[in-house]
Amino acid sequence: MQILGRCLFLITLTVWLATVAAAEDICAICGQPIVGPIYLVTDAVTGKSQMVCSNCLKLPRCFICGLPVKDDGVELPDGRHLCARDAKTAVLNADDAQQIAAGVHDDLDRLFARFTAFPTNVDVDVLDRIDVDKLFQPDGHDFESPDLLGCIAAKTNGVQKRYAMRLLTGLPLVELKATAAHEFSHAWVGENVPPERHARLARDAEEGFCEMVAYLLMDSQNEAAQKNFILRNHYTRGQVELFIAAENNYGFDAILDWMKFGTTGKLDKDHVEAIRDISPPVASNVVPGPTRISKLDESNDIATNEPEPPPSSVSAPATLPTFKLQGIIWSHPPLTIINGCTFGVNDQGEVPLGKTNLAIRCLAIGKNSVRIQEMDSGRQQELALPAN
């Protein structure tokens, strides 16, 4: 009985091992048993490795996940391939991409309404692999396109500044949203960061800021996979992780202030608290007193400047002209009235201030307050509605 029991055990073990081996040796692409070498290919979407046979290894690779593409995949006009799974979520139409980008802009404005607004002077278009090759093709050299998902550039007609955003076709919907958020963040930098500060800002820091905005948008929409994808991409050289940590500890408003007025060019992993080290321009509130030209000094014929003598009686100091928030209109989009002038979020214009006009931009409209920026000095103010 013991011998029979051992035989039955060995037979059962052999059958189980054969079943496991057969299951493990199935190609993830063609579904056939693998004969010969087994190749492991990582799925960039799931992060898992898949077993692939030598024949499938020779097939074109999916632009999104990197796995070989069988006959049920899709070939794009620019030569890229998509597997059947990823083709279902890919955005292929230019009109769809533009509508999605417009929705991302609205989502960003809602998410960060307490702090800032994102530029509306952005024109969205699409590009494909051929366009990318033309952007980066060095003359006379072989070239492989970089992993460019989107780009943005400022342009002007001499009067108005606008931004041209281009998004890569064939991206999954969630990745397209994150890419659009990243590019809108570059436009925000172009509109809000003073040129002198921008020149001192490290490229990795700007990219890290833009990736952080995309990450926070994905977090608000519960897109955990895309958040992980952003963190796995190391092209910001760790800056995105530092921005996320700084936002968690010090708030989004501290991030914006550092981007505009920070004293360092990038964040340091050992001193994330330096996000609070800023040097905003100092706005002078000193009003020069009146002067008069005296009569010529008879001894040397030199005219001298003397301060106007003080009045004989003491009077109350004059009140300096200020910005006054006169109302908030909750239309779509919301509007505000400042010193008799109407502004929407990110609108720019001149308002009367005393005996002159001063150019301002409306950065954000809240329930009871509005944030503005003086265009000449860059100084920001929070204007509150008067108490009832």
Phi/psi of residue 132, each to 5°? Answer: -65, -40
Question: pLDDT confidence of 378, banded at 50, 70, 90?
Answer: confident
Inter-CA distances, 233 with 208, 227, 240, 289, Å: 11, 10, 10, 58
Domains and CATH numbers, the chain: 21-88 (no CATH), 91-137+146-276 (no CATH), 321-388 (2.30.30)
Which pLDDT band, with edges at 50, 70 and 90, does 89 fall under?
A: very high
Q: What is the pLDDT of residue 188?
A: 97
Q: Judge whether residue 60 has pLDDT over 60.
A: yes
Share of the chain above pLDDT 90, in %: 56
Rounded to an integer, what distance in angstroms lies between the CA atom of residue 78 and that of residue 137?
16
CB 258 within 8 A of CB 272: no
pLDDT of residue 282: 63
If we measure between CA atoms, which residue out of 340, 341, 334 comes closest to residue 369? 334
Residues 294-345: pLDDT tens digits? Answer: 333 333 433 444 444 455 444 444 445 788 888 888 776 788 888 888 888 8
What is the mean pLDDT of the segment spanning 206-230?
Answer: 96
User: What tens digit of pLDDT does each residue of 153-163 get?
Assistant: 999 877 789 99
- 8 A C-beta contact, residue 208 and residue 272: no
Beta strand extents in the chain (DSSP E only): 39-42, 49-52, 74-75, 81-82, 90-91, 122-127, 150-156, 161-168, 171-172, 291-293, 305-307, 325-329, 335-338, 341-344, 348-353, 356-365, 369-374, 380-384
Question: Which residues on adjacent β-strands are paired with residue 341?
Answer: 338
Asked whether 353 and 345 are in contact (CB, 8 A), the reply is: no
Residue 142: CB atoms within 10 Å: 6
Report the C-alpha gap between 136 and 120 in whole angstroms: 28
pLDDT surpassing 70 at residue 195: yes
132 neighbors 145 (Cβ within 8 angstroms): yes
On the question of pLDDT at 140 being above 70, the answer is: no
Pairing of β 325-329 and β 305-307: unpaired
Percent of the chain exceeding pLDDT 70 equals 80
Across the range 22-33, mean pLDDT stands at 85
The 3-state DSSP composition of the chain as helix, strand, coil percent (nearest 5) reads: 35, 25, 40
Rg (CA), the chain: 31
